[in-house]
Structure 1
Amino acid sequence: MASSWSASTCLLLCLFSLGFLNQGPSYLLVSFSAYWSIVLKELSVVFREPPKCILDTTDKSKPGGTWLPGSVLNIAECCLQPASHPSKKDDDVAIVWRDEMDDSALHHLKLKEFREQVMLVANALDTTFTKGDAIAIDMPMTVNAVIIYLAIVLAGFVVVSIADSFAAKEIATRLRVSNAKGIFTQDFILRGGRKFPLYSRVVEANPCKAIVIPVIGNDVGLQLRNQDQTWIDFLSSVNHLPRPNYYTPVYQPVDSLTNILFSSGTTGDPKAIGWTHLSPIRCSEDAWAHVDIQDGDVYCWPTNLGWVMGPILLYSTFLCGATLALFHGSPLSRRFGKFVQDAGVTVLGTVPSIVKAWKSTNCMEGLDWTKLKSFCSTGEASNVDDDLWLSSRAYYKPIIECCGGTELASSYIQGCPLQPQAFGAFSTASMTAGFVILDENGVSYPDDMPCVGEVGLFPLYLGASDRLLNADHDKVYLIGVPMYKGMQLRRHGDIIKRTVGGYFVVQGRADDTMNLGGIKTSSVEIERVCDRAEESIMETAAISVAPVDGGPELLVIFVVLKKGFVGEPDKLKMKFSKSIQNNLNPLFKVSFVKIVPEFPRTASNKLLRRVLRDQMKHELSVRSKI
């Protein structure tokens, strides 16, 4: 069996024997230098100017250190050049895809064609925007979306990531915060043969300029505003160039901004998190080391460039030398499963709510998924029974659990194929990451002790954010976090359980940010919408709880009514769901509404959502026993 292991897996085995995966706070800088030097070579990261060193810790004002100081590169270029991978050639397939309504045709884009299309768009960007501009992408994760993303980075612009499920208000917020100068979008979204409006939402958000791609054929199926442009007209802007398919990359210092992503906080606007050229290196290392993505793999994960998993999938695939598999349509149907079969997918990423839907409809029965070597799962808590069912689709291949954050550009805790895996649990800290579990007083539990507490991350973390566009980064992630053996720990917000067997289970958020269907949002955002849904409402409190048998979190709204009003929970549930879907996200739904006389509060009048959460957990537990 050992003969089938890849070079990366063999290296990991050596690192295990040296104890690098179970590092403590006393790990040496030489271990970072040795490990990351190997990773940069394996990922074929090519520098225009090489780094002076791997990590510089001399600046004490930077708890996270300075990574790859002095280096200059363009990370998009590293994704496009065959020289980056000795076994990768121009005629190898970079992307394989299928449209939802066509079960027969598989489309392939070879690396040379892919590079030329990216460079064509990069040239068109130069004719339309000014260097350094932020340019948004609000569309499904299609081949065109991937091409546009890499072209923006290649040409020295900044991607603004917006999920195609957002309502107009949420789109507008992200365009405002990022100061985006334009946006790429589609006229419609096609799902199950039905067309859903997308351009109209973008228009309502009122961006400066929209470039609109038709979902069917070459003609946009609606009237555009005067300042907007069709995809064909945008591309034709480079017809005068002698070599429109050739482009010289814009090389930048490694800490230059390439992508603005958003993660909800507990109040106000969503946090605008900046990715640099370091961030793709970090997330690709996760895929290389923990998922064993390599040349010859076909990597598929239904996601969107508006969420962190979109850029992670894109970079992890191309920097590891694999083929990206994209399905233009809903991942909930049998057609998606047939695409996985026909495209020869070897690693399939999932979200637990998707797996639950597959299992409940039995839509994947009879498909041949034998080429799969592993699954991945992230976004929300996994259900053990659902994981067992999923693993059985591919003769019980392992499921690698991943948990991290947009601001980390990676997972801090994962599974690993070199360790026995437990469904719904994590087996180790990610390579070169470290953490402790803190009790209520901020004191760390012993490393071998079963416990439950808030995670504190070690600060030396390649790719982790060091800035926020619209908030105080240190206040959000560092100030008030305990020290640990001379290190300023970094806040992440997860509550983690370490089991008797040494596995880890993430049990939710320490703050009031919740995870709904793999999408992080805040209680305050939900409550703002619900407070306006009905005149009888005095105030609402939004919490999420995991079902007794595990799985994705359920959204629960507690309500205090105005004096003299009588409410019906079922009617309020319908109104809240409709209001949330129209004003926040159409993917969210309310599971329960509880009308109460008043909310529990602290002496300073701060709402105690934790108490409400505990009450709901108890009620669900009692219900399950009846």
Structure 2
Amino acid sequence: MKKQLLVTDFLDRARTYYGDYEAIVGTDGERFTYSEFGDRVDRFSAALQERGVGKGDRVAVLDPNTHYHLEAAFGAMQCGAIHVPLNYRLTSADYEYLLSDSGANVVYADYEYAGKIEAIRDEIPADVFVTNDPVPVEGDWIGFESFLAAEPDGYDRPEMAEDEIITINYTSGTTGDPKGVCRTHRTESLHAQLVTIHHHLTDDDVYLWTLPMFHVNGWGHIYAVTGRGAKHVCTRGVDAAEVFDAIETEDVSFLCCAPTVLTILDEYADEHGPAFSGDNPVRVTAAGSAPPSATIRTVEDEFGWEFTQLYGATETGPLIATSDAARLIPEEGGLRFSLKQRQGIAPLGTELRVVDDDGEEVPRDDATIGEVVVRGNQVMEEYWEKPEETHAAFNERLEGWYHTGDLAVVNEDGMISIQDRKKDIIISGGENISSIELEDTLFDHEAVDDVAVIPAPSEKWGETPKAFVVPTSGDPENPGVTADELTAFTRERLADYKAVHEISFVDTIPKTATGKIQKYELRQREWDDEDEMVGKG
């Protein structure tokens, strides 16, 4: 038989089997069982329907990782409304674009960010505005608790089908206007099942929200953790002291994050020596640019945590590949950490290829570079109201496959390793140079705290690698190392043509809310006076 795959199944299951068990630890210490959480979700659904919100309407959620975010998301989806999570680190102008583009009917915004919505209130289609604390918020906003005054049995769940859109996740917009990634009940459900399997989620897991819930629905964990009947521990962002305190006091067993968070935790641990676990062993998954192998070694050997690398994109839910491949990775030795640094292999039910310009798979020689393409049940349906962009994303090199724009090599076991974004590859004197390889090498120098490498214009070579380095000293004027010394450091470890030739010491490197380096900002600084980039980046 065939049963429709619906995102509402996840909370339904938790309420059926884990109703009396703790579901959520709020940021203020308030605690909810799955029955209590479900009751609040029902009330949110009823309140939406009282105000005319129905199937297919859009409900935007602007909130850090609090229980209100979870309640608003599930409350909207139970009505068949489309959940639109928003990055809480954007500007009012950004929100005007996102809310107008999605046609949001309702906005729930945390009190800390509601002012940014109030500033553009007259320019967006929404007519219902809810916040968790209306006291500090100017304008006509409904308090969340007042909104929940509706009777929990006052909502009617509409008939829903697995191929209907249930969430729109916006891309970061680093190369143009953000695109709304449309995900269906089916894509979300199957992705959440993949996450459950490859992250080894169990019902007694305690999940710490160090990853933004807005980012691809927290990598699907708003569904997976809930459906498994595990516990959510909420946060209002990443504070190293609070993270270690929660890990110890709440017996956290699992967290996900960008690699930059691991660096923050490592620096805090060096200075303060916190406990690295409570009663449960800890697992951590990182995604984005792979962390340096030295960071992975620290996490596993010093923290005692089990590390997994994840690779994905907003368009894919995000899971595309994972280093959850124990039989392909030795239990100890230096090779373990370099292999764990790789993006890994495809999860169940997913086809992953690395292809050349003609769409042919590259050999498994760990040297030939191609673009990563993928197809699977977790891949998006389309971009919201952007048919041309949708067609291009699925057909550039290989028809019917989502094209990630990432360049990779494949080893003999099929484990991929991202070398660069297509736009970030450096073409110097006709040779391809991976900015990621250079960054990883520079990270090994003790004077380097953070680094980004981009192509810079060169009269001789067309392009040459340039590194922006945040020194460990914290002072760009006194970095504790010279540019020549760092150049020599890369030349000793890499082929001569790959050595970095220009270095700027800086205070910070621009990044997105999810920890991705915004290299386009750095490239603009270098190429404003040039006609075009060699690599077209």
Q: Is 1:322 aligned to 2:230, yes or no?
A: yes
Q: Is the 8 A contact 1:299 1:348 kept in 2?
A: yes
1:167-222 per-position Cα deviation (integer Å, ceiling 9, x unaligned): 1111111111101112110222xxxxxxxxx222112232333534245xxx5213
Indicate the residue corresponding to 2:429 in structure 1.
Answer: none
What is the TM-score of this pair, normalised by structure 1?
A: 0.66
CA distance in 1, matches of 2:535, 2:19: 55
Indicate the residue corresponding to 1:146 in structure 2.
Answer: 70
Correspondent of 1:181 among 105, 108, 118: 105
The structure with higher relative contact order (CA 8 Å, sep 6+) is: 1
RMSD in angstroms over aligned alpha carbons?
3.8
Indicate the residue corresponding to 1:229 in structure 2.
Answer: 142
Q: How does 1:70-81 map to 2 (within 5 A)?
A: 71-72=3-4, 74-81=6-13
Closer, same or farther in 2 for the Cα pair 1:325/1:353, shift >3 Å? same
Correspondent of 1:220 among 135, 158, 182: 135
Specify the SS of the correspondent of 2:84.
strand
1:441-468 per-position Cα deviation (integer Å, ceiling 9, x unaligned): 443123x432342334353x11312322
Q: CA deviation at 1:256?
A: 0.8
Q: CA deviation at 1:581?
A: 9.6
Specify the SS of the correspondent of 1:159.
strand
Closer, same or farther in 2 for the Cα pair 1:294/1:246, shift >3 Å? farther
Closer, same or farther in 2 for the Cα pair 1:588/1:168, shift >3 Å? farther
Q: Is the 8 A contact 2:64 2:237 kept in 1?
A: no
Between the two proteins, what is the percent identity of the paired residues? 15
Indicate the residue corresponding to 1:534 in structure 2.
Answer: none
| Worse overlay, 422-431 or 143-152 | 422-431
Q: Is 1:93 aligned to 2:22, yes or no?
A: yes
Indicate the residue corresponding to 1:435 in structure 2.
Answer: 352
1:23-62 per-position Cα deviation (integer Å, ceiling 9, x unaligned): xxxxxxxxxxxxxxxxxxxxxxxxxxx62xxxxxxxxxxx
Indicate the residue corresponding to 2:52 in structure 1.
Answer: 129
Q: Is 1:120 aligned to 2:50, yes or no?
A: no
Indicate the residue corresponding to 1:496 in structure 2.
Answer: 408
Closer, same or farther in 2 for the Cα pair 1:277/1:367, shift >3 Å? same
Indicate the residue corresponding to 1:193 in structure 2.
Answer: none
Structure 2: tracts of 5 or more residues without a match: 330-335, 426-433, 444-449, 459-467, 469-475, 477-503
CA distance in 2, matches of 1:130, 1:594: 46
Q: Is the 8 A contact 1:92 1:111 kept in 2?
A: yes
Correspondent of 1:277 among 177, 185, 190: 185
Q: Is the 8 A contact 2:6 2:189 kept in 1?
A: no
Q: Is the 8 A contact 2:210 2:256 kept in 1?
A: yes
Indicate the residue corresponding to 1:507 in structure 2.
Answer: 419
State the AA in 2 paired with 1:250: P
Indicate the residue corresponding to 2:386 in structure 1.
Answer: 471
CA distance in 2, matches of 1:294, 1:592: 44
Q: Is 1:608 aligned to 2:534, yes or no?
A: yes
Q: CA deviation at 1:479?
A: 2.4
Q: Is the 8 A contact 1:72 1:254 kept in 2?
A: yes
Q: Is the 8 A contact 1:381 1:550 kept in 2?
A: no
Indicate the residue corresponding to 1:109 in structure 2.
Answer: 32
CA distance in 1, matches of 2:535, 2:118: 37
Specify the SS of the correspondent of 1:354.
helix
Indicate the residue corresponding to 1:31 in structure 2.
Answer: none
Indicate the residue corresponding to 1:171 in structure 2.
Answer: 95
What is the TM-score of this pair, normalised by structure 2?
A: 0.76
Q: Is 1:378 aligned to 2:281, yes or no?
A: no
CA distance in 2, matches of 1:181, 1:73: 26
Closer, same or farther in 2 for the Cα pair 1:322/1:374, shift >3 Å? same
Q: Is the 8 A contact 2:358 2:397 kept in 1?
A: no
1:117-160 per-position Cα deviation (integer Å, ceiling 9, x unaligned): 10011101111233131111111120111111000001111111
Q: Is the 8 A contact 2:20 2:34 kept in 1?
A: yes
Q: CA deviation at 1:418?
A: 3.6
Indicate the residue corresponding to 1:32 in structure 2.
Answer: none
Correspondent of 1:359 among 255, 259, 266: 266
Q: How many residues align?
A: 463
State the AA in 2 paired with 1:255: D
Q: Is 1:209 aligned to 2:122, yes or no?
A: no
Specify the SS of the correspondent of 1:608.
coil
Q: How does 1:272-311 map to 2 (within 5 A)?
A: 272-310=180-218
Q: Is the 8 A contact 1:404 1:412 kept in 2?
A: yes
